[in-house]
Amino acid sequence: MKKIVALAFLIALTVQATEYEEVTVNVAAKQISGSAYYVPGLSGAATEFEGFISNSGFIVTSEGVVVFDALGSPPLAYSMLKEIRKVTDKDIKLVIVSHYHADHIYGLQVFKDEGAKIWAPKGAWEYIDSETSENLLDSRRELLFPWVNDDTYLVEPDRVIDEDIEFSIGDHKFLINYFGKVHSDGDMSLLDLTNETFYSGDIIFEGRIPFVGDADILEWIRIIGKIRKIPVMYFIPGHGEVSDNPRYTIDSTYRYLNFLIDNFKVSIEDMIEFDVAYDAIDWSEFENENAFDEANRKNAFAVYLYLEKNSD
């Protein structure tokens, strides 16, 4: 009977495949521990690799599948769905969204069509209702066409999370850590208590320079300190490889953000203009990281403005 059901799912996927453009990047699920998996994106800037630059994950429970983040396009999410179907034919019950940034949410419509409920952090609606989200989607429809196109749309959450929540699905226990406005308008993580596996979202980057944007930098550093205290066996950052040494992975982002703060705090106090301050900094510790050329100067300027605004 199970084989018949699985075959039915595969047939349905084959029929649906014509709705999405094929991707040429390799979207492959990797088992982490027990029934916990992740799909590692590639290290690059926002529109590189067909938008496949962030991680996602999924956990198979006795009553269905919990997905963490949905990748940067419907075709990428559909490729992830096919990876899930290699493991199980169980329903997609829930998608936990770490934050509403394009590379984590444009694939949500695929899982919504599967009947999944979408849980997102408080702050998601600020993004959805903003001109930024509209303008960015229009831009990505050009820069990531045909994978992001006129049929791509922002999926609204079924539930907004504004506090830490522990919940169970089937034989699995989970904990959502709600962080508030940190890296984005609202951020949260997922701790799979059963498999001792932590999905951090973009609170932690590994193997590339983080994206700062309009983040609350000091709050970000404080939250990283909080994450350091969570006991887990396996750690999946928002970008980069899974780690069985969480402290080391966490410290890469922590070190970079503190480096920006320490250097530009002095510049603000001494009233040094940004360009002069930036050129005087020794960036050798980070300049070989992926996305350094694309992101570092923008990050530095964002931190400079943040410190300038909060210097009173």
Considering only CA atoms, which of 78, 84, 29, 73 is closest in space to residue 48?
Answer: 73
Q: For the chain, how are helix, strand and coil distributed in percent, rounded to 5? A: 40, 20, 40
Considering only CA atoms, which of 227, 223, 291, 230 is closest in space to residue 257?
Answer: 223
Phi then psi for residue 18, to 5 deg, are -65, -15
Neighbours of 191 (CB within 10 A): 22
Question: Across-strand partners of 33?
Answer: 36
Q: Give the C-alpha separation, 238 to 189, whole Å.
A: 10
Q: What residues does each domain of the chain span? A: 2-256
pLDDT digits (tens, 9 = 90+) for 65-85: 999 999 999 999 999 999 999
% of the chain exceeding 90 in pLDDT: 90
Res 2 pLDDT > 50: no
Q: Does the pTM of the predicted model rise above 0.95?
A: no
* Placement of tokens 């950052």 in the chain: 237
* Placement of tokens 């300190």 in the chain: 225
The DSSP symbol for 217 reads H
Based on the number of CB atoms within 10 Å of its own CB, is 173 exposed (0-12), middle (13-18) or buried (19 or more)? middle
**What is the band of 297 on the pLDDT scale with cuts at 50, 70, 90?**
very high
Q: Give the C-alpha separation, 142 to 139, whole Å.
A: 5
Res 5 pLDDT > 60: no
User: In the structure encoding, which two tokens stand for residue 137, read together?
Assistant: 């989607």
Based on the number of CB atoms within 10 Å of its own CB, is 81 exposed (0-12), middle (13-18) or buried (19 or more)? buried
Does residue 292 contact residue 284 with C-beta atoms inside 8 Å? no
Res 18 pLDDT > 50: no
The whole-number pLDDT of residue 266 equals: 93
Distances from the Cα of 87 to the Cαs of 31, 115, 177, 235, 307, in angstroms?
10, 18, 27, 21, 48
Residue 82, helix vs strand vs coil = helix
pLDDT digits (tens, 9 = 90+) for 139-165: 999 999 999 999 999 999 999 999 999
What fold characterizes domain 2-256?
A: Metallo-beta-lactamase; Chain A (3.60.15)
The whole-number pLDDT of residue 242 equals: 96
Res 123 pLDDT > 60: yes
Res 4 pLDDT > 60: no
The whole-number pLDDT of residue 160 equals: 98
Phi then psi for residue 229, to 5 deg, are -90, -5
**What is the band of 11 on the pLDDT scale with cuts at 50, 70, 90?**
very low
Phi then psi for residue 202, to 5 deg, are -85, 15
Q: Give the C-alpha separation, 165 to 145, whole Å.
A: 38
The whole-number pLDDT of residue 312 equals: 65
Neighbours of 280 (CB within 10 A): 10
Residue 165, helix vs strand vs coil = strand
Considering only CA atoms, which of 9, 58, 10, 7 is closest in space to residue 31?
Answer: 58
% of the chain exceeding 70 in pLDDT: 94
